[in-house]
Every structure is written in structure tokens, then in C-alpha cells.
Amino acid sequence: MNRFMKFSFSLKFLVFIIFFLSFSKDLNSLDIKLYKTLKIPNYSSVTCLEFNPKDSNILLVGCSSGQLLRWNISKTKYDIIYENSQSKVVSLSCKDDLVSIAHSDEYVLFLKINSFEGDIFSLPNTNHNYCFSFNYLNPSFFSRCLYSSNKIEVWEKDGNKLKGYYLLQLKKSNISCLKWHDLYDNNLACGCLNNIIEIWNFKTDKCIFSLAGHFDKILCIFWNPFYPTVLASGSRDNTIRLWNLIKREKCIGILKGHKSSVSCLSFHPSISRILVSGSDDTEIRIWDINILECVNILKQHKSKITCLSFSKKGDFLASGDIAGNIFVWKVII
């Protein structure tokens, strides 16, 4: 525990109370209904989704065509915010007044969420950005891994310039996915092709945890927003594993039910026991991680699911697939 975070007693107690209250909610009262169906133009796939944190009627959508779309889901209308026809959008982050966008080529954008004016940067030495993650606490920090690489670059936007900060190098495997911690901005989770998850402190340049248990490539990672040492991982082995870093790096639960690769995950932003997963089997599953059971299955998608996103309050869930379909779900608690 002392390798990862030094909690004060008050912080531990507060986290415990929030976690307990969240777990005590009755999931029988949770109702998820289809609210809107949207379709991306030009036969493009949906690569990433983010709700406007100040307006849950506005959904930002990254596409394989390179377009960034802004949908008004209440009116089922969209406009094109930005377009790069040479590469797909691989990562999208919304925090306060800033939208951060990364493409699979060298371009990274930092735009104001209302005017969509801002800065566009070109990163050096591109061999296609394979995976990308913006730091949630400080979106001016971001990490990327190039295709077929075991190296992670950490960059910072400093005014109108980019600084290359650190180069982390994994020794045993190439990298398949990245996810910054939501509360501790020094810590970065890396999913690897050798089925391992490594947790790195990029300031000390050290791997502080190594999580083994999956039997195939790690495809997605998501930190629990309420309990800082808990994370979920999805794999090509069709399972989701839950980890608690204070439990001696051991898996604390396995969620089985998907019939193909688990491609995306998201915890509910206000109920920490609710985990949502999307899969190549076209199903969205709602899990209660307290009892390690699936409590609902959404089967409207007919193509592989690529991304999931909750609105800030958790009253909406958006899901996208490779056929360009977006389903927006109303979450009633």
C-alpha cells in the first residue's frame, strides 16, 4: 500500500463511507431504457465518445473517418467540429472547458468546449498512435504508445508548445492499452500483449504493480472513480477481472458472460458497484461488482461495440459500434 499512495486516515474514512453508501444502493431500482438512436455518416465507425460535462444533451463523437462530431441528442442533430481525413480519432477527453483529441497520425488537439477554438500540435516520430490516454486530472498531460512498441511517451502541453517529459519502457511486452488514474495523476495503468497489467509511476519511472491473471491480450482498463485502488480490466479472453491494489496485487473477482473479447469498460460515476462492459459479441452487460453478477444485458447493437461513456451525472449512457451506430440510454435510479 505504501508503494502506491499514502492515504491520510480521513481520506481512507471518506473513501470507505462513499464506497459503502454506493454499494448499499438497491440495483433492483436501476432501470436502463433506450433513449435515442444515432447514425454516423459516411459508413464510419465510432471510435470514442464523451458527453459534455456541463450539458448531457451534447455528445462528442470520434470517428474512424477522422471527424469529430458534436451531437445534440435531444434534437438528433450533429455538426462537424473538426476533420482529418488522413487518420481516425483514437482518444477523446472532456474536462471542464477543455476538449482533448488525438488522431492515429501525429495530430493532437486541445480545444475550448464551447467555441472549439484552440491549439493543434504535430507529434514527432509517428508510426501510428496505437493507444493514447489523456490525464483526467490534468488534460494537458497525455501519454501515447506507438504501434508495436513497448515504450510509453508522456507529453505536456505548455502554453503553445509541447514538452516531451518521460519515456517509460516495459521490459517484457508491447503495450495494448493505457489508462491514467482518475485521482492520482502520477499513476498510469498499461495493458500488455503478454496478458499482464503494469501500474507505473511516471515521475519515478518505476513499475509499482504487476497484475497477472488474464489469459489473453488486455484490451481495456478502467479505474473505479470512488475507490482509488480498484480497477477493472477487459481482455480478449472474454472476461473482466477486478483488482484491488491493497490486496497484494491479486484479482478479487472475475466477471464471465461475454462470448467474445471485452472491448470497453466504464464504471458508473455515482454508484461505484455498477460496471458496464461492451464486447465484440455485440452485447452491453451491466455488472454488480459487489456480488460479481451480471444484472442486465442490452442487446440492441448488431455490430462489435467499440466504446462506452456515461454522462457526468450518470443519467445517460452512450455506446458506439464499428458500424457507426450510437445508442443513448437513459439511466433511471
Q: What pLDDT is recorded for position 29?
A: 53
Q: What pLDDT is recorded for position 168?
A: 73
Contact 115, 125 (CB under 8 A): no
Q: What pLDDT is recorded for position 274?
A: 95
- 24: which residues sit within 8 A by CB, 6+ positions away? none
Q: Whole-angstrom Cα distance, residue 196 to residue 221?
A: 12
- 248: which residues sit within 8 A by CB, 6+ positions away? none
Q: What pLDDT is recorded for position 204?
A: 83
Q: What pLDDT is recorded for position 258?
A: 98
Q: Whole-angstrom Cα distance, residue 160 to residue 138?
A: 16
Q: What is the dihedral of CA 255, 257, 263, 269, to 10 degrees?
A: -50
| Distance from chain centroid for Cα 74 | 24
Q: What pLDDT is recorded for position 153?
A: 81
Tens digit of each residue's pLDDT, the chain (333 residues): 444 444 333 444 444 444 444 444 555 557 899 999 999 988 899 999 999 999 999 999 999 999 999 999 988 889 999 888 778 898 898 888 888 888 888 788 889 988 889 998 888 765 565 677 888 777 777 887 766 677 788 888 888 888 876 677 776 778 888 898 877 778 889 998 889 999 988 778 888 888 999 999 999 999 998 888 999 999 999 999 999 988 766 899 999 999 999 999 999 999 989 999 999 999 999 999 999 999 999 999 999 999 999 999 999 999 999 999 999 999 987
| Domains of the chain with CATH codes | 28-332 (2.130.10.10)
pTM of structure: 0.87
- 47: which residues sit within 8 A by CB, 6+ positions away? 62, 63, 64, 88, 89, 90, 306, 307, 320
The rounded radius of gyration (Å) of the Cα atoms in the chain is 19
In terms of residues, how long is the chain? 333
